[in-house]
């Protein structure tokens, strides 16, 4: 089930806002908010508010888990109004400046909770180490081939140890 939030008649160009929207489409809400927070764009501040509003709508109105939300749908449409301004130009002319508006729509949905990944670590690729000052690069460490280990001898019991001690002392 999709839960929406909309911001209408926003004073930013749809073309510029779509560049920011493309960065968050399909991401988890927490990740999307982090991306928007560090995106140096005016439209990112506006879209950040809409994403937060959609997440709050999902939690409060539809009783969804806020930890498992993702941005399922994100779009920017051009607003119906454009503000037209005039810029003075040479020889008595005027150049038109069009200040566009946008409608921002964000839809979030609840996804399956991800399994906890603590304790599970994939093998780390071994790479060559960079060269130190005035030296050559160190080759990558060799990965040992899978060889069967030799069985370790079983620990001796107290009775065996006592017999061995008596023999070592001269025997009785």
Indicate the range of 67-76, 88-97, 121-130, 148-157 predicted with least confidence.
Answer: 121-130
Tens digit of each residue's pLDDT (9 = 90 or more) over 47-79 = 999 999 999 999 999 999 988 999 999 999 999
| Residue 134 resides in a domain | no
pLDDT > 70? residue 99: yes
The model's confidence at residue 35, banded by pLDDT at 50, 70 and 90, is very high
Helix (H, G, I), strand (E, B) or coil at 160: helix
Whether residue 28 lies inside any domain: the answer is: yes
Q: Is the dihedral of CA 105, 110, 116, 121 positive or negative?
A: negative
In a domain, 9, yes or no: yes
Backbone φ, ψ for residue 113 (5° rounding): -65, 140
- Cβ atoms of 25 and 71 closer than 8 Å: yes
Residue 33 lies in a domain: yes
Q: In this structure, what are the phi and psi dihedrals at residue 109, rounded to the nearest 5 degrees?
A: -140, 160
67 domain-assigned: yes
Please report the sign of the dihedral spanned by the C-alpha atoms of residue 168, residue 164, residue 166, residue 157.
positive
- The answer as to whether 153 is a domain residue is no
Number of Cβ within a 10 Å radius of residue 84: 9
Tell me whether residue 82 is in a domain. yes
For the domain that residue 92 is a member of, what is the CATH number?
3.90.470.10
Q: Which of 71, 99, 70, 105 is nearest to 86 (CA)?
A: 99
How far apart, in whole angstroms, are the C-alpha atoms of residue 13 and residue 77?
10
Q: In the predicted model, what is the mean pLDDT of residues 139-163?
A: 63
Question: Does residue 16 surpass a pLDDT of 90?
Answer: yes
Domain annotation covers residue 50 = yes
Q: What is the pLDDT of residue 145?
A: 58
Q: Could you tell me which residue, 143 or 42, shows the higher pLDDT?
A: 42
- The boundaries of the domain holding residue 77 are 3-110
CA 59, CA 54: separation in Å to the nearest integer?
9
φ, ψ of residue 139 in degrees (nearest 5): -70, 160
- Name the nearest CA neighbour of 22 among 6, 2, 1, 43: 43
Tell me the HSE value of 126 on the side-chain side, using a 13 A CA sphere. 7
The total number of structural domains that make up the chain = 1
Q: Is pLDDT above 70 for 141?
A: no
- Structure tokens that stand for 63 in this block: 């009783």
């Amino acid at each position: 089930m999709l839960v929406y939030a909309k911001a209408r008649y926003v004073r930013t160009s749809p073309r510029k806002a779509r560049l920011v929207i493309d960065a968050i489409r399909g991401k988890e809400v927490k990740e999307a908010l982090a991306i928007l927070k560090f995106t140096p764009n005016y439209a990112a501040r506006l879209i950040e508010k809409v994403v937060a509003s959609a997440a709050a709508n999902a939690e409060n109105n539809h009783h969804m888990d806020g930890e498992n939300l993702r941005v399922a749908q994100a779009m920017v449409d051009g607003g119906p109004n454009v503000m037209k301004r005039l810029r003075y130009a040479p020889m008595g002319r005027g150049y038109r400046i069009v200040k566009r508006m946008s409608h921002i729509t964000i839809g979030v949905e609840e996804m399956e909770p991800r399994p906890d990944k603590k304790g599970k670590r994939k093998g780390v690729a071994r790479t060559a180490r960079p060269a130190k000052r005035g030296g050559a690069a160190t080759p990558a460490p060799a990965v040992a081939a899978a060889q069967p280990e030799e069985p370790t001898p079983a620990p001796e019991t107290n009775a065996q140890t006592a017999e061995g001690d008596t023999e070592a002392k001269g025997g009785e």
